[in-house]
Structure 1
Amino acid sequence: MTYDAALTSDGLAPSRQGRILLLACGALAREILAVIRANGWEHLDLACLPAILHNTPEKIPGAVREAVDKHRSTYDEIFVVYADCGTGGLLQSTCEQLGVRMIEGPHCYSFFEGNDVFAAHAENEFTAFYLTDFLVRQFDAFVTKPLGLDRHPELRDMYFGNYETLVYQAQTDDPALTSKAEACAKRLGLRFERRFTGYGDLAGFVEEAAQG
């Protein structure tokens, strides 16, 4: 999901200053809007960058910088809802230079489960492949097709031969998504595990942003 301009929680473009912008990865749009709407935070707006940037993480810091520069004059504060996401610390450095705060964590799998909880068992899960609600919905667009598995299923062993378990981190209780995630595990030849994480540390970060 991509937004060309900042949107308010009701889908309208902001018309006045004195607002707070959440600049986020498009893979988090549904979850962020759910938190905003559940709490009635009408002063928070959301602008998303394309989720597909995760396939080229070296482009994320520049894209964030460009978006912050674009929206800075319209907002009192901007919060970046990206984890490190494979940028090797470059995104954190960019945010520090820009004077904006970003959510903590190496990736969304960590902050959805809770950074402390994820870190506690990460060393024992080197063979786990993680999916979120978004990635279950977009499995073909973000996994199957980019890796060429739709054209060359024999590549499965090259990409996933060292994995043992597909861990579905569920943000919502949706039987249809659980069924689809289990089917994804079967396609990859992996054991299936479902963990209900809810929104984890994301909810707290959005709340902190709402408080300014």
Structure 2
Amino acid sequence: MDPVLIIACGALARELKAVIAANGWQHVQLQCLPADLHNRPERIPEAVREKIRAGRARFTRILVGYADCGTGGLLDRVLEEEGVERLPGAHCYEFYAGTQAFTALADAEPGSFYLTDFLVRHFERLVIRELGIERHPELASMYFGNYRRLVYLAQAEDAQLHEQARQAAARLGLEFHYQFTGYGGLHTAIVRFQRQQGRDARTEQVSWQS
């Protein structure tokens, strides 16, 4: 099969590697950008563009493992210019939970702060330290004063992560809500992309032979 490159957010690395391994895709390579870019979403589009252009010489097909991720449509503009597809949705919470389930969560409590397995593992670094709460605890109420609950969208059934998420909610003074999602729409989207590429490749071959 033609070589495929997935350019992804580092926050999805563990799950994407698992999907690739589970399907035995030897022809798929994963390259991740730092998850810290989510704190500077305006930098994501050009960082992705650089990866796309660097990968074109080696890879026939490229998929971008980002949702919009706070870029306000700028990532989609870059991908349209480069002719590359991305994962569906506004953010990883949506494609993990699924659009319908995520909409229901948001409607039930608009003031929800979401965590995934990755964000639970790196809560201290990405939330407490990056937002300056470690040095200035009073900032927690400024950042999270309008939130009511913390929603942990779990990819793995892990008791330790569950407890860490619960502690994170308590630290921010938020109600705790747990919802197991598994890989959700992430797995579905990657498999669909692979199948589509396979159909496209067969169509190209038939057209060439005819």
TM above 0.5, yes or no, is yes
CA–CA distance in structure 2, aligned partners of residues 160 and 65 of structure 1: 33
Instruction: Tell me the residue number matched to 2:12.
Output: 28
1:80 aligns with 2:64: yes
Instruction: Tell me the residue number matched to 2:32.
Output: 48
* TM-superposition CA deviations, 1:11-38 (whole Å, max 9, x none): xxxxxx9301111000000000111111
Match of 1:139 among 113, 120, 123: 123
CA–CA distance in structure 2, aligned partners of residues 27 and 145 of structure 1: 17
CA–CA distance in structure 1, aligned partners of residues 139 and 103 of structure 2: 30
> How much does 1:121 deviate?
4.1
If the length of structure 1 is used for normalisation, what is the TM-score?
0.89
Moved over 3 A (4+): none
CA–CA distance in structure 2, aligned partners of residues 123 and 88 of structure 1: 21
3-state SS, counterpart of residue 123 of structure 1: helix
Given that 1:20 and 1:209 are in contact with CA atoms closer than 8 Å, whether structure 2 keeps it comes out as no
Letter in 2 for 1:89: G
Q: How much identity, in percent, do the aligned residues show?
A: 53
Given that 1:23 and 1:81 are in contact with CA atoms closer than 8 Å, whether structure 2 keeps it comes out as yes
Gaps of 5+ in 2: 198-210
Over the aligned positions, Cα root-mean-square deviation in angstroms equals 1.2
CA–CA distance in structure 1, aligned partners of residues 88 and 122 of structure 2: 24
CA–CA distance in structure 2, aligned partners of residues 202 and 45 of structure 1: 16
Given that 1:171 and 1:199 are in contact with CA atoms closer than 8 Å, whether structure 2 keeps it comes out as yes
Instruction: Tell me the residue number matched to 2:169.
Output: 185
CA–CA distance in structure 1, aligned partners of residues 180 and 107 of structure 2: 20
CA–CA distance in structure 2, aligned partners of residues 71 and 125 of structure 1: 41
Instruction: Tell me the residue number matched to 2:204.
Output: none
Letter in 1 for 2:81: Q
> How much does 1:152 deviate?
1.1
Letter in 2 for 1:188: L
CA–CA distance in structure 2, aligned partners of residues 67 and 166 of structure 1: 34
Letter in 2 for 1:91: L
Gaps of 5+ in 1: 1-16
> Structure 1 residues 33, 60: closer, same or farther in 2, change over 3 A?
same
3-state SS, counterpart of residue 80 of structure 1: strand
> How much does 1:120 deviate?
4.0
Give the structure with the higher percent helix: 2
How many residues were matched structurally?
Answer: 196
Match of 1:198 among 167, 182, 188: 182
Letter in 1 for 2:59: Y
If the length of structure 2 is used for normalisation, what is the TM-score?
0.90
